[in-house]
């Protein structure tokens, strides 16, 4: 890992992420990621105060390990992202509130904002996304997170499809991108 990783992350963010790993990859899968990140001691973080913070560098090591081990596993990462949203915001929230909160729960040099919301299409700008800063890594986890976060605020029959403007994953700035979430209403 190269770069400056200053900032802090609420414990509950990592708890939600580890729970998502557990659901999708089971215990050994979660352990593999923590081991690769040399962060195995954080496996029981759920027992700590969820509102305490963890340094961003440790969190980023886990994300980097995940991106290395799950390289080329887009569907899995997307599913992990959906579960991550489910566990981080279990009681349902407005999509706008989730976007506001994720910026506050992970405080570092990044930003997520809704730039447009009309005609059932929401455009989100992500600056320096922390979930895909590695060269060659697509942002499937955060896509899954956003899709599920929006979907759970909609009637259950409605679907959300997403597309991004990322063109070249090998561009060092590929982690600054726009993502469009389109709500497909069910026809009754």
Partner 1 sequence: MDKKKRVILKLALLGDAAVGKTSLINHYIEESFKEDYSPTLGVNIVMKKLDYENAEIQLAIWDIAGQDKYDLTRKLFFEGCYGSLLVYDISRVSTFESIKTKWFKDFEKFARSDGVYILIGNKVDLKEQIMVPTEKGKELAEKLKAIDFLETSAKFGDNVERAFKKLVQQVLPKFGIEIEFDLD
Contact set with partner 1 (CB under 8 A): 24-29, 31-33, 36, 68-76, 79
CA dihedral 119, 113, 76, 51 (to 10 degrees): -130
CB of 176 to partner 1, least distance (A): 23
CB of 167 to partner 1, least distance (A): 21
- Give the Cα separation of 34 and 52 in Å (integer): 20
CB of 32 to partner 1, least distance (A): 4
Taking the least distance from each CB to partner 1, the nearer of 5 and 21 is 21
Taking the least distance from each CB to partner 1, the nearer of 19 and 153 is 19
Taking the least distance from each CB to partner 1, the nearer of 81 and 110 is 81
- Give the Cα separation of 87 and 67 in Å (integer): 20
Convert 88-124 to b/e letters by CB count within 10 Å (16 or more is b): bbeeebebeebbeebeebbebebebeeeeeeeeebbb
Taking the least distance from each CB to partner 1, the nearer of 135 and 161 is 135
Taking the least distance from each CB to partner 1, the nearer of 65 and 124 is 65
In sequence order, what are the residues at sequence separation of 6 or more whose Cβ sits closer than 8 angstroms to the Cβ of residue 26? none
Kind of pairing, strands 159-164 and 177-184? antiparallel
CB of 137 to partner 1, least distance (A): 10
CB of 68 to partner 1, least distance (A): 7
């Amino acid at each position: 890992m190269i770069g400056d990783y200053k900032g802090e992350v609420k414990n509950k963010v990592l708890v939600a992420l580890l729970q998502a790993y557990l659901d999708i990859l089971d215990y050994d899968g979660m352990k593999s990621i923590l081991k690769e990140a040399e962060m195995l001691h954080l496996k029981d973080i759920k027992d700590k105060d969820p509102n305490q913070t963890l340094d961003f560098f440790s969190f980023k090591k886990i994300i980097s390990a995940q991106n290395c081990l799950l390289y080329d596993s887009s569907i899995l990462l997307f599913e992990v992202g959906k579960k991550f949203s489910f566990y981080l915001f279990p009681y349902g929230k407005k999509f706008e509130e989730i976007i506001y909160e994720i910026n506050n729960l992970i405080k570092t040099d990044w930003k997520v904002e809704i730039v447009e919301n009309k005609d059932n299409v929401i455009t989100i700008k992500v600056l320096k996304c922390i979930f895909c800063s590695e060269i060659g890594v697509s942002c499937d986890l955060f896509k899954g997170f956003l899709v599920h976060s929006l979907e759970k605020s909609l009637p259950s029959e409605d679907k959300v499809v997403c597309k991004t403007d990322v063109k070249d994953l090998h561009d060092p700035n590929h982690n600054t991108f726009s993502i469009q979430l389109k709500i497909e209403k069910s026809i009754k």
